[in-house]
Every structure is written in structure tokens, then in C-alpha cells.
Amino acid sequence: MKEIKNKAKKEKVVLVIEDERPLVEAINTKLEQNGLVVITARTVEQALHYLEDIAAIDAVWLDHYLLGSDNGLDFVAKIKSASSKWKKIPIFVVSNTASSTNVQSYIRLGVKKYYVKAGHRLEGIIKEIKSFLDHPDE
């Protein structure tokens, strides 16, 4: 943990909340290749613990369907609540859910962007996240 805290000072940290193991590994590899530090969680509960313990999360990669009782929307709702100290962390939702009501809910709750997993190259998504982290005001 301490290691990560130090690294956080120079490199950006991305919290990846995804429960599919093969995908997590691919995402992890690609993110690290792009110079980002990766923390992975499979449930909302786990993700919230990490947020609590590691103060320096710079971005969140979030899937919709997760292990456990909460899904991605629950996570965003908790993060974006008025009293939350993590309101400002940009959330990139990368999911395969087809429901447009879900997509609308995410956007309304204030996520940075929504990607349909199967419609994007991994490289493409990561480049956009990186670009945002480097120039957060654009």
C-alpha cells in the first residue's frame, strides 16, 4: 500500500472495477503499458474500501455488472453523493450492458464517459483515459 501511495505522487492511479478475470488481466496489462498504476476490485464493496485506504485514486474504470449485490450504478450513486469526498474522481464506464435506461442513468449521475466494451479497442479507451488524466481541463 505504501508503495502505491508513493507512486501515486508521480504516476496516475486507476481503480479498475471489473469482475471478469480475463478482461481484468488484459486491462491491467494495457494500462500499465501506458504508464498507469492499476488497482483492481471485483465488487463495489471492495472498490469502496480501496478508495478509503488509498487516498490518491485518479480515475475509475467501471463495469456495470459486478460480483456482489451492488452494480456499477450503485457505486456511482455512492461516489457522487453530496457528502462524498470522491465526487471529483472521473469515472469511465466500460460495460456491455445494452439498456439505454442504464446508460442514461450513468450519464445523469455524472460519469465522465460511457463505452460499450465490445465496440472499442482496448487501446482506444485507454488512450482517451490517459489523455484526460494528462489534460483534465479539456
Partner 1 sequence: MRKKIISLADDIARKLKILAEEKEDVRQKLAVTAEALRLKAKQLVVTAKEKEDVRQKLAVTAEALRLKAKQLAVTAKEKEDVRQKLEVTAKEKEDVRQKLEVTAKEKEDVRRKLAVTAEALRLKAKQLAVSRETLEEKVLERTKDIAEARAKEEAILASIGDGLAVVDKEGKIMYVNQSFEQMLGLKVKEVIGRSMVEVVPREDQNGAEVQFEERILTQVLSGKKFVADLTNPFYYIRKDKSRFPVSSIVTPVVLGGKIVGAVETFRDITKEKDIDKAKSEFVSLASHQLRTPLSSVNWYAEMLLAGDVGKVTPEQKKYLEEVYRGNQRMVGLVNALLDVSRIELGTFLVEPEPTDIVKLAQVEIGEQKLQIGAKQIQFSSSFEKNIPLILADPKLLHMAVQNLLTNAVKYTPEGGKVRLTIALSDVHVLIKVSDTGYGIPKNQHDKIFTKLFRADNVREKDTEGTGLGLYIVKSIIEHSGGKIWFSSPGKTPLGGESQENPGTAFHVTLPIN
Distances (CA, A) of 29 to 41, 47, 108, 114: 15, 19, 31, 21
Q: Which amino acid is at 31?
A: L
| Of the residues 67, 86, 89, 96, which one makes contact with partner 1 according to CB under 8 A | 96
108 binds partner 1 (CB under 8 A): no
74 binds partner 1 (CB under 8 A): no
Length of the chain: 138
Minimum Å gap between C-beta 125 and partner 1 is 10
Q: How many residues bind partner 1 (CB under 8 A)?
A: 25
6 binds partner 1 (CB under 8 A): no
User: Hey, which residues between 34 and 63 contact partner 1 (CB under 8 A)?
Assistant: none
CB-nearer residue toward partner 1: 1 or 98 = 98
| Of the residues 4, 23, 67, 77, which one makes contact with partner 1 according to CB under 8 A | 23
Residue 137: half-sphere exposure toward Cβ, Cα within 13 Å? 0
Compute how many other C-beta atoms are within 10 angstroms of the C-beta atom of residue 82: 5
Q: Which residues lie closer than 8 Å to 52 by C-beta, 6 or more apart?
A: none
Binding-site ranges for partner 1 (CB under 8 A): 20, 22-23, 26-27, 29-30, 33, 64-65, 95-102, 116-119, 121-123
